[in-house]
Amino acid sequence: MKRNIYPFTAIVGQEKIKKALILNAINPSIGGVLIKGDRGTGKTTAVRALASLLPEIEVVENSPFNVNRNEYMEFKLYKFNNKTKEDMIKTTKKHKKIVELPLGATEDRVVGSMNIEKGLKEGIKQLEPGILANANNNVLYIDEINLLDDNLIDVLLDAAAFGVNTVEREGISIKHPSKFVLIGTMNPEEGELRKQLSDRIGLEILVKGVEDIKEKIKIMEYRQTFEKNPRSFKEKFESRQKELKEKIKNAIEILDDVEIKEELIKTIAMLTNNLGLEGHRKDITILKTSKTIAALEGSREVSYDNLIEAIELVLGEYPDCASNLQNTFQKNNEEENNEKSDENQNKEKLNQNKEEENKSNEDEKNHDPNDGSNQNNEPNGDNEKDKQKTNQNSEVNQEKQEDELEEENENLSNQTQSGTDFKTKENENKDDDLRIKTLENQSELNKFQIKELEKDINKILVVKGREKEKLYGSRVNSKTEKGKYVKTKFSSDYKDIAIDATLRAAAIHSKNKITVKKEDLRTKIRKHKAKASIAVVMDMSGSMMSDEKINKIKGILYKIIKNINKNKDKLSVVGFKGKESEIIIPNTKRPSSFLDKLEQIKVGGTTPMATGLKKGYEILKKENKKGEFIPMLILLSDGMPNVGIKNSEVKTLTGSPIKDVLAIGKQLADEKIYTIIINFEKKIKQGRNVSLELAIISNGRYYDLENVQDSSATIDKILTYERTLL
C-alpha cells in the first residue's frame, strides 16, 4: 500500500528545515541534516515530503545495491548475479528515495546477512542485502537517531567514513558501496547523539513549533483538507512542487561552476578559528553549503548573504556564533582597509620619491658650477621638519601600541582570574555550568577530566565504599536480538537462528541435499556494551517539606534524567512518605516520557525510608538476575527514618525504622548493588547518623551536600564520575 505523502511546498513555516533538506538534495556531499526539536514540530513530515523532490539517478538494472555503472564494475558486483564483467550492463533511471532505518532494526538487517531461504532450501551461501545496500545513492532517514543502539551507530560510522559497507559474517565476505545522505531527527530531551556521529552530519537545525497564530490556523486547515482528500490537496500544490523540482534540477547543473571569493574563504577560516573548532570538517561544510545556496538562487558566485546563511545552518547552534561572526567580518574588513591603506601609502611614497627625484634632476640642470654659493652644504629646513614629524609620529605610534598591548594583557589577566576564582557563588555556578556543558558533550571522559572531577568529588565524599570490578561499557550477553553477533549456541528456540552454524551442523549428516533437523538448530549469541540501571530512591516526607528542598529535589531529578538520556542507561524513581513508597518513574530507557510526573510530586507525612529502599532493591535485584545492566541505587534523603516495615515475611525486617534500613543495606551489599547515599541535611537522630551507617553496611559511598550551593550540578558530577568506577 502506497503511503500518502504530504506535499513539501504545503509545509507552513519551518524554513530552516526545508532549506537544509533542499540543499542536501542538490549537493549530497554537504553531509546530511540533524534536526532537533520537540515532538509534533513537523520534522518527520518534512523529511518524508522531500522524497517527491529528489532528482533522478542512473543505476544498474536489477541491482539490489542501487549502484551506478562505475560502482558495479569497481566492486565486481556482477558476481552477485552470477555474471562476468564482459556481460552487457543494462542501466535504468529512477528517482532517489528515502530509506528509513527503524530503531528496532538488528545489525543483520542493517548490514546484511545470509539469505535464509537459499541457505535452508538449497544450501547456498548468498547475501541478503541490508538497509545500507538499499540506502546507497539514496537518503537514509533515522527518526529518534539519538536512541539508536551503539552497535548500529558503529556500523553507520564505518559506512559514513568510507562510503563502503563490509559484510563479514556467516561465511560471507563482500563489500559494496554505501554512500548516502544521512538525515536524523531527534528530541534533545531524550538524550544527545553520540559526538562521533553528530560531527559527521553537515547541518544541525534546532526547530521549535510555529507560534504565529495565522500560521497555526493554516497548518490545521491544511492538515484537515489533506486528510479528507489527499489527491485533491496534492493537485493544488502540484505546480509549486514542479517549480521547486525544476529549481533543484537547475541548481545541480550549475553547482560545479559556482565560485567563491578568496576574502569569503578567509572569513570562514577566521570564524572557525575564533570558535576554537577542531579539524576542518566545519570549514569545508560551510564552503559547500554557501556554494549550494548560490546555485539554488541561480548564481554562479557566492555572495556575502549566501555565506551568512550557510554559517547559520552549519554553526547556528554553536555558542557565541553570532557575535563571533560579527567580530570576524569586522576584523576582516579592518585588515582589508589596513592593507588598502598601506598600499595607498606605498603608492604615495613612490610618487613622492619620483617627484623629489625629478626635482633634484631639474635642480642639477639649473645649477651653475661657477656659482660660489655652497647650497649643498647648507641644511634643508623642509627636510629637517619632515624628519622631526616622522620621529614624532613614530613615537606616538609606539606609545599607542604599548598602551594597546598593556590593555590586552590586562584583559587576558582578568579573564584568567575569572576562570579560576571559585570563591564567589556566581563564579562557582559559572564553573559548574562550564564543566557540565563539557561533560554533556561527550559520553566518555579522558584521564585528565576524571582527575579534575575527582578533586571536586573528594571534597564532598565522606565514605568511599569498597573497590568494585569495572564493568560499565564492557561487553555483556544480550537477551534480545540486538547487539553484535559473536558466536552461537545450541537451542531449540526458533528466534535469531544462526544460519551458517545451523547449515554446518546439518551438513555433517546430510548426503545429497542438506536436511536441517531440530538438533541442528543454532542460535546467535550477541553482545552489547553494559549500561547501568539506576534506581533513585527519594525522600518526599514532611522533613523535606520546604519549597526550597522540593525544588532542589526536582532540579536534581531533571539533571539525573538528562544524564541518563545522554548515556542511554535505565532509570527508575521511587518516592517514600507517610507509611508507604510509590514508583514515580518505572524502570525505563526513556525517562523523559515521565517528566510530567515530577510536577505532580507531593510531600508530607512521616519518613518510611525502609519501604523506599526495599522497592528500589527489588527493582535492581531483577536487573541483577538478567545480567544486562549494572545495578546502582541512589538514595536522596536527610537520613531521618521514623517508620519501619511491619508484617514483613523477611525475618530481618522487624518494624524498627533504623534497623530495617540497615537490614536492607546488608541485602544491597549481598547482591553487590552499587549504592550511593546523598545527604542534604546534617541532622542526627538518636545520636546516630543513619545515612553514614547505611553507606558503611551496604559497602556504598556517602556524599554530604549540606554546604553545596548548586545540588543539581553536583549530582550530575557525582553520577558522571561514578560511571567511571562501575
Q: What is the rounded average pLDDT for all residues in the chain? A: 78
CATH number of the domain bearing residue 438: 3.40.50.410
Q: State percent of the chain over pLDDT 70.
A: 74
Helices then strands (H, E): number in the chain? 25, 21
User: Can you name the residues that pair with 476 across neighbouring β-strands?
Assistant: 528
299-352: pLDDT as tens digits: 999 998 899 899 988 887 665 665 666 666 666 666 555 555 556 566 666 666
User: Can you name the residues that pair with 409 across neighbouring β-strands?
Assistant: none
**pLDDT value at 149 more than 70:** yes
Cβ neighbours around 287 below 10 Å, total: 20
Please compute Rg for the chain using Cα positions: 35
Residue 405 lies in a domain: no
Residue 302 lies in a domain: yes
Amino acid occupying residue 59: V
Residue 72: band (very low, low, confident or very high) from pLDDT cuts 50, 70, 90: confident
Residue 412: band (very low, low, confident or very high) from pLDDT cuts 50, 70, 90: very low
538-581: pLDDT as tens digits: 888 875 556 666 777 778 888 888 888 888 889 999 999 888 88
Domain with 265, as residue range(s), is 258-344
Q: Bin 95: left if φ > 0, else alpha if -120 < ψ < 50, else beta.
A: beta
Q: Which three cell numbers stand for residue 180?
A: 548516502
Query: Which alpha helices (DSSP H) does 461-546 contain, by range?
Result: 499-509
Domain boundary among 322, 344, 366: 344
The residue-averaged pLDDT of 498-526 equals 80
Q: How far apart are CA 111 and CA 135, in angstroms?
A: 11
Residue 393 lies in a domain: no
Task: Quote the pLDDT of residue 687.
Answer: 62
Query: Residue 492 in contact with residue 518, Cβ under 8 Å?
Result: yes
The residue whose grid cell reads 540506502 is 135
Q: Is residue 163 located within the same domain as residue 107?
A: yes
Residue 363 lies in a domain: no
Residue 246 lies in a domain: no
Domain boundary among 315, 344, 373: 344
Query: Which alpha helices (DSSP H) does 421-467 contain, by range?
Result: 425-440, 447-460
Q: Is residue 12 located within the same domain as residue 145?
A: yes
Residue 194 lies in a domain: yes
Task: Quote the pLDDT of residue 290.
Answer: 93
Q: How far apart are CA 699 and CA 695, in angstroms?
A: 6
Which residues are CB-neighbours of 20 under 8 A, at least 6 positions away? 33, 35, 203, 205, 313
Q: Is residue 36 located within the same domain as residue 108?
A: yes
pTM of the full structure: 0.67
Q: Is residue 25 located within the same domain as residue 148?
A: yes
For residue 165, give Cα distances in angstroms to 65, 154, 158, 208. Answer: 11, 12, 7, 35
Q: Is residue 148 located within the same domain as residue 277?
A: no
Q: How far apart are CA 221 and CA 224, in angstroms?
A: 5
Report DSSP letters for 389-432, one per residue: HHHHHHHHHHHHHHHHHHHHHHHHHHHHHHHH--SSHHHHHHHH
Q: Is residue 181 located within the same domain as residue 195?
A: yes
CATH number of the domain bearing residue 301: 1.10.8.80
Q: Is residue 207 located within the same domain as residue 302?
A: no
20-48: pLDDT as tens digits: 999 999 999 998 999 988 777 888 889 99
Q: Is residue 266 located within the same domain as residue 281?
A: yes
Which range has the top average pLDDT, 136-145, 341-350, 440-449?
A: 136-145
Question: Among residues 607, 515, 531, 596, which one has the least CA distance to residue 558?
Answer: 596
Domain boundary among 306, 326, 344: 344
Q: Is residue 455 located within the same domain as residue 513?
A: no
Question: Among residues 556, 623, 634, 621, which one has the least CA distance to residue 589?
Answer: 623
Q: Is residue 522 located within the same domain as residue 534?
A: no
Q: H or E element: which one contains 128?
A: strand 127-129
CATH number of the domain bearing residue 30: 3.40.50.300
Residue 70 lies in a domain: no
Q: Which three cell numbers stand for residue 322?
A: 553570532
590 is catalytic: no
Q: Is residue 594 located within the same domain as residue 643?
A: yes
- The domain total for the chain is 4
Q: Is residue 157 located within the same domain as residue 271?
A: no
Instruction: Considering the candidates 281, 466, 475, 688, report the single residue annotated as catalytic.
Output: 281
Residue 522 lies in a domain: yes
